[in-house]
Amino acid sequence: MNGWDKGIFYVGSYGEKSDATIHACTMEKTTGKLHIIQRFTNVENASFLAIHPDGKRLYAAKEIGESGGQPGGEVAAISIEVETGLLKDITSVASTIGQHPCYVSVNQEGTGLYAANYTGGNITLLPLTEDGELQNAASLMQHEGEPGPVVDRQGAPHAHCVVPIPGTPFVSAVDLGIDAVVTYRYDKEAGILANHHITKLQGGTGPRHIAFHPKLAVAYVTNELASSVTLLHLDKDAGLLTEGATYSTIPTEYTDYNDSADIHVSSDGKFLYSSNRGHNSIAVFAIDGQSGTLTSIQHIGCGGEQPRNFGLTPEGDYVLVANQKTGNIVVFRRDRESGTISETGFTLELNAPVSICFANNSH
């Protein structure tokens, strides 16, 4: 057994180069108890993590504004000792050209890594070698459009997420600054991105992350500034997303500050989860199996403050919530039938956790 078979996952955190900003951890699957098995340094502000399809490389966004004296953040590739899940060495580093990358993802073929640069307001494609090493940027796609009406947060484009649309050559980037989902076509032969389509969302919502349904032709965007989730209808062949209904992620009686952060759909496609910072909760929705519409079924306290990121374990039995401000990861048990979650009593303390990435299963 190796990888997630052994309960291995990785946590990215903000911090200096000298700090342990990436932790390799394990989960006891019968109880949900967590353990740190390694503290990894030399990656400043490891704000988002992704793993290569072959499980041999972990990629970490270095959310910085300058690298090598030039504007732009970086991505680091780190080799994984497959049998143990431990991180070995930083094997390659590449500039994202855009400033402050806050999200990275790898395409299905393992040939390219996408980075969303928040301050840069752009998307970078970094080609990968057969061994998963990073190469210099092949595409830098600058977002353009009218800024949203929330002046202090939407003064310019702010790319916050970039995800391949499963089973298609398309890639969708979510931009908080211009209230839009920008879709590109990945040219496999040329190894570059091309402009394709822009889906404008309601002004001032501040879209942040996107999750695609595993079975239905729909996707969901969590809106940071509006504390809501928007349903998007997907035409896979055409690579088009169309705005549908929007649902609040906070209870109607809650009137204090909140912004939404992360979003995930269960692997069976029956439930959606979104995190709230301020209300400090996880919102749970049931998904209609025909239309993809949502029904709110639970709000539960996240056991800390500022749940920036969280993850559903691959089998779907647990939800791990990374609370940035209180420096803890809280373990919730998930009922697969009802979709609701409940506290296990287990937590793991580490500084400013902001990204959770599960190891692959057996390779």
Long-range pairs, 282-286, Cβ under 8 A, ≥24: 282/307, 282/310, 282/319, 282/321, 282/332, 282/341, 283/249, 283/250, 284/339, 284/340, 284/341, 285/229, 285/247, 286/339
Residue 4 phi/psi, 5° resolution?
-70, -20
Q: What is the pLDDT of residue 94?
A: 98
Residue 222, CA distances (Å) to 31, 102, 160, 208, 272 in order = 30, 16, 11, 6, 11
Whether 164 maps to a domain, the answer reads no
Whether 344 maps to a domain, the answer reads yes
Whether 161 maps to a domain, the answer reads no
* Domain interval for residue 287: 250-363
Q: What is the pLDDT of residue 2?
A: 80
State mean pLDDT over 23-30. Answer: 98
Whether 341 maps to a domain, the answer reads yes
Residue 314 phi/psi, 5° resolution?
-55, -35
Whether 295 maps to a domain, the answer reads yes
pLDDT tens figures, 168-217: 999 999 999 999 999 999 999 999 999 999 999 999 999 999 999 999 99
pLDDT tens figures, 291-300: 999 999 999 9
CA 135 remoteness from chain centre:
22
Indicate the average pLDDT of the chain.
Answer: 97
State mean pLDDT over 304-315. Answer: 98
Number of domains the chain is built from? 1
State mean pLDDT over 51-68. Answer: 96
Report whether 310 contacts 321 (CB < 8 A).
yes
Query: What letter represents residue 51's amino acid?
Result: I
State mean pLDDT over 240-262. Answer: 97
What CATH number should be reported for the domain holding residue 352? 2.130.10.10
230: closest CA among 158, 294, 300, 166? 294
Q: Based on C-alpha coordinates, what's the Rg of the chain?
A: 19
Whether 157 maps to a domain, the answer reads no
Q: What is the pLDDT of residue 363?
A: 40
State mean pLDDT over 237-247. Answer: 98
pLDDT tens figures, 86-133: 999 999 999 999 999 999 999 999 999 999 999 999 999 999 999 999
The model's pTM? 0.97
Report whether 244 contacts 231 (CB < 8 A).
yes
Paired with 67 in beta bridges are 70
Q: What is the pLDDT of residue 279?
A: 98
Q: What is the pLDDT of residue 68?
A: 84
Whether 326 maps to a domain, the answer reads yes
Give the residue, 84 or 1, on which the prediction is more confident.
84
pLDDT-derived band at 69 (thresholds 50, 70, 90) equals: confident
Long-range pairs, 229-237, Cβ under 8 A, ≥24: 229/260, 229/263, 229/272, 229/274, 229/285, 229/294, 230/201, 230/202, 230/205, 231/292, 231/293, 231/294, 232/181, 232/199, 233/292, 234/165, 236/165, 236/167, 236/168, 237/168
Angle among Cα 98, 110, 265 to the nearest 5 degrees reads: 80
- Residue 58 pLDDT greater than 60, yes or no: yes
Whether 201 maps to a domain, the answer reads no
Phi-psi region of 201 (alpha: psi -120 to 50; beta: other; left: phi over 0): beta
Q: What share of the chain in percent tops pLDDT 90?
A: 97
**Tokens, residue 137:** 């940027």
Q: What is the pLDDT of residue 88?
A: 98
Q: What is the pLDDT of residue 190?
A: 94
